[in-house]
Amino acid sequence: MNTISYTNLAKMCAFVEERALTRQSDRTAQLRREADAAGNTQSSAAQADLLALLVRLTHSSSVIAIGTGAVIESERIVDALGGRGQLTAVDSSPEGIAAVRRLFNTLDEDTQTTLRAVNASADVFLERLNAGAYQLIVVSGDPANYAPAFAQAPRLLDDGGMIVFTDVMAMEGTDANGGMLNPADRSAKAVAMRELLDTVESDERFDATLTPVGTGMLLALRR
């Protein structure tokens, strides 16, 4: 690929993101403005769109979202569940789980989906959950969330279930220095994502693909 091609790819990503932003519902747009004003910058709108689609494609009724300061993604997942099932939001930070609980309070009267917010670390909480009871796991945020979530995924997911990792390019952290795109970036997230990518793609229990949506999403489907 030449320089023009790479420039066009960057323009394409910007177009896709802008398109997704213009298609947001009024409620989603308001939630994004409130989160940004509170200093809780939200992830890509295109990423949230893809997660909502994956909820539908996997016919999910039980979803786990880990690292859930991303209120937009949680809101879109709840919307995609269509009033069915349960969303379990797990966050080790008091600020992150408080943001999700505020969201759940807002959504509670508008959905029959059961909303459960848990202030705990992924490595401690996930091992308590029932095996084979979930169709989708979404992992974001702290680098410590990723490896424990994948370790539990074969047990937690039912056949055909999926685990999705966001920010796999490790570009969102405050200490990021180019993320995976910069071999010299030795931040905790970049180091963890390099290891995660190799681990997931080599695991024969999953079919995996890396996609450039948002700051990189790794999708792994349980065989």
Among 2, 138, 113, 175, which residue's Cα sits nearest to residue 58? 138
Among 79, 47, 49, which residue's Cα sits nearest to residue 63? 79
Measured distance CA(176)–CA(61) in Å, rounded = 35
φ and ψ of 212, to 5 deg: -85, 20
- State which H helix or E strand residue 42 sits in: none
Measured distance CA(195)–CA(181) in Å, rounded = 14
pLDDT, residue 1, reads 58
Tell me if residue 58 falls in helix, strand or coil: coil
Provide the domain limits for residue 137. Answer: 3-222
Measured distance CA(135)–CA(206) in Å, rounded = 14
* AA letter at 58: T
pLDDT, residue 2, reads 59
Location of structure tokens 């969102």: 172
Q: For residue 189, give the CATH number of its domain.
A: 3.40.50.150
pLDDT, residue 3, reads 64
Among 121, 119, 216, which residue's Cα sits nearest to residue 171? 216
Q: What averages of pLDDT result for each successive group of 10 residues across the chain (223 residues)?
A: 72 93 91 81 90 97 88 92 95 86 86 93 95 97 95 97 97 87 94 97 98 96 96
Tell me if residue 146 falls in helix, strand or coil: helix
Query: Which residues, other chains included, contact 41 with Cβ-Cβ below 8 Å and sequence gap of 6+?
Result: 35
pLDDT, residue 35, reads 81
Q: Give me 215's structure tokens.
A: 């700051």
- Please state the domain count of the chain: 1
